[in-house]
Structure 1
Amino acid sequence: MPHRDRAAALAAATPTPGFFDGFEERSAPLPDGGQIFCRIGGEGPPLLLLHGYPQTSAMWHAIAPDLARHYTVICADLRGYGRSHKPAGGGDHAAYSKRSMAQDMATLMTVLGHDRFRILAHDRGARVAHRLAADHADRVLGLAILDIAPTREMYRHTRTPFARRYWHWFWLVQPAPFPETMIGRDPDWFWLEKCDTAPAGLGPFCQQALREYLEYFNDPAAIHASCEDYRAAIGIDLAHDDADAGRKLPMPVLALWGADGAIEEFFDCVALWRERAEQVSGRALPGGHYLAEECPDAVLREVIPFLASLTDS
């Protein structure tokens, strides 16, 4: 089905049964006047879930209900994405530095009454989680990350084959409004075409999640914000990483990645994370980039015992 027809069909589709049943939706205010949208469900110790690009907190629909049996699960939309605020990036793109995005999440957890917490994060959200753990080490008990190696180290090890595979890393960072204008001509086509080139195609995405992804990506402010996210990654984020001066994350890190994805093909994921964290374990899972939607059961089998091993002492 052509992407434009598929987008129209998704818009008219009935909701996916069981989609975040039992979760409430909230928008938490921030001191700067912005807000972070989140879905909250379950009882127990707090667990923060952060999504990737070009998605929203909807990506956790197949995992969050199981985790909510053990934890108070907070699935947040990152700034610039979904229903969260979308400030201007600024000349140095600092508004979308992972430090700024991480501070949003630290503030969100404070607003919700959670001092210390666990994190499960994917893709861009995992880069935010890395900075959150670095800047607020006293609050993060541990983090499980899906299909990334550390940003600085991935750039350092980039070669032509990876650049061809991850072309968007080098295209989205071009000065505004070049990528924004081109994406804005047909956001549905861009979203569906980019994700359809993943090893599993669009098959892993449920209809209601896809509807949400497309709806909120059609906002020009979201398109700009997502470009700013990548512009920050190749600039100010690297400066923040360098300023860490070899300081490593003290809490446990679980790194999971897709056996069919770019991380497996081009990087030694565990070795690179051991450059940035003191305690690292991990392995490849049977899937590509979108593990939480491609193989949720496999993710849960790894994540649940890891999270349970983290103690608030």
Structure 2
Amino acid sequence: MTPVRGHPEIMPGFRWHDVETDEVTIRAAVGGEGPPLVLLHGHPQTHLTWHKVAPILARRFTVIASDLRGYGDSAKPEGGVDHVAYSKRAMARDQVEVMRQFGHDRFAVIGHDRGARVAHRMALDHPDAVSRIALLDIAPTATMYARTDMEFARRYFWWFFLIQPFDLPERMIGADPDHFLDRHIADQIKVPGSVDPAVLAEYRRCYADPATRHAICEDYRASAGIDLTHDAADADARIRAPLLALWGRLGTVGALYDVLDTWREKATHVEGHALECGHSPQEEVPDALLEALDGFLAPLRGE
């Protein structure tokens, strides 16, 4: 584990490390003290997406916010056969190893977007490690693909664009990565001015790397292939940890799915509700997100 320069001006009170797992190096920010809590970001963000909520959570928890493999400043391995290196199984394994290196064998996990899909797989593959799980603005991957219709395809076109064979999406995005990233975020954010310019600059810095863009495509290719194979094999499995599902009332997921019902098909104890935002509650409505998390995480503090 190697200390590195991070972004204390964006996430005050945190320390940054490069953590060597058995397979890759993961960039992680650590702060606070108390019960352990890992925060997993989505696409096209990095761990800095949590900058409005992580310092508050760190008053009561030991918070680890890390970049998923392929994203931010984490390693970007080749995808391999069937894009297996970007299966959610591999990405979940990374984060379990990171938490163990920080001394935490059991912890709560909060995931947004792609990070929530990693958290879903983590709760199935490592049930003894996950104490509680909060998923932000997703329905299960297999459910969303199985129920695809014209409206979903129109709203989430990148689910079908990014999975195209190498190197079509990589080349097309590479023509103007800032424009693709900015439009992607702007179309999903429903609370104007939610994305801090300094954080957006970091998203752009990372997205400017062709290796990042390729890894992101591999992530989506895995979700449309090997992840569905893993999900089918676990079709009868259920998440044992208490699960909180939160979604944006103004976004796509809440408009197209009964979110709680989709998760009741996958977990034994599910609660949750909509928030007044689009796709990214941690940036759009951080206070409302923190309020929802406070009650859900209270048992970890013995309350």
Report the TM-score when normalising by structure 1.
0.92
CA contact (8 A) 1:195 1:201 kept: no
Note the residue ranges of structure 2 that are not aligned, 5 or more in a row: 1-6
Q: 1:223: which partner in 2?
A: 213
Distance (whole Å) between structure 1 residues aligned to residue 235 and residue 121 of structure 2: 14
Letter matched to residue 269 of structure 2: Q
**CA contact under 8 A between 2:138 and 2:247: conserved in structure 1?**
yes
**1:200 to 2:210 alignment:** no
8 Å Cα contact 1:137/1:251 also seen in 2: yes
CA distance in 2, matches of 1:99, 1:198: 27
In 2, the alpha carbon distance for the partners of 1:101 and 1:205 equals 26
Q: 1: CA distance between counterparts of 2:191 and 2:182?
A: 9
Q: Could you say which residue in structure 1 is the equivalent of 2:3?
A: none
Deviation (angstroms), 1:198: 2.3
CA displacement, residues 103-125 of structure 1 (integer Å, 9 cap, x when unaligned)? 00011111111010001110000
> Which runs of structure 2 are paired with 1:143-222 in the superposition (5 Å)?
143-200=133-190, 203-222=193-212
What does 1:297-312 correspond to in 2, within 5 Å?
A: 297-310=287-300
**1:310: how far off?**
4.3
Name the CA distance, whole Å, in 2 between partners of 1:76 and 1:176: 27
Distance 1:67 1:311, change over 3 A: closer
Query: Deviation of residue 155 (structure 1)?
Result: 1.0
Give the Cα–Cα distance (whole angstroms) in 1 for the partners of residues 8 and 99 of structure 2: 29
1:243 aligns with 2:233: yes
Quick one: which amino acid aligns to residue 196 of structure 1? Answer: A
Question: Could you tell me whether the CA contact under 8 Å between 1:123 and 1:147 is conserved in 2?
Answer: yes
1:56 maps to which residue? 46
Cα pair 2:29 2:66 within 8 Å, conserved: yes
Partner of 1:13: none
Pairwise CA distance, 1:17: 9.2
The letter for the 2-side match of 1:218 is A
Shift of 1:199: 4.6
Q: Which residue, out of 13, 22, 31, partners 1:22?
A: 13
Mapped to 2, the partners of 1:113 and 1:310 lie a distance apart of: 17
Match of 1:12 in 2: none
Please tell me the residue identity of whatever aligns with 1:24: R
What are the residue-to-residue correspondences of 1:94-105 with 2, within 5 Å? 94-105=84-95
Give structure 1 regions of 4+ aligned residues with deviation exceeding 3 angstroms: none
What whole-Å deviation, never above 9, does each CA across 1:146-204 have from its counterpart, x for those lacking one? 10011001111121111100001010000000000011111111101221222527621
State the alpha-carbon separation in 1 of the partners of residues 61 and 120 from structure 2. 21
Deviation for aligned residue 1:264: 1.2
Summarize the Cα distance change of 1:199–1:74 in structure 2 as closer, same or farther, 3 Å threshold. Answer: closer
Q: Report the Cα offset of residue 311 of structure 1.
A: 7.4
Q: Separation in 1 of the partners of 2:289 and 2:60?
A: 15
**What is the root-mean-square deviation in Å for CA atoms of aligned residues?**
1.5
Q: 1:221 to 1:18 in 2, by over 3 A?
A: closer
Q: CA, structure 1 residues 27+138, in 2 after alignment: closer, same or farther (shift >3 Å)? A: same
Residue 36 (str. 1) matches residue 29 (str. 2): no
Counterpart in 2 of 1:88?
Answer: 78
Instruction: Give SS of 2:135's match.
Output: strand
Q: Is the 8 A contact 2:248 2:276 kept in 1?
A: yes
1:199/1:108 CA distance change after superposition, 3 Å: closer
* Distance in 2 (alpha carbons) for counterparts of 1:56 and 1:170: 22
Aligned to 1:4: none
Amino acid corresponding to residue 33 of structure 2 in structure 1: E
The answer to whether the 8 A contact 1:195-1:202 is kept is no
> What percent of counterpart residues are identical?
51
- Number of residue-to-residue matches in the alignment: 296
Aligned to 1:75: 65
SS of equivalent residue, structure 1 residue 251: coil
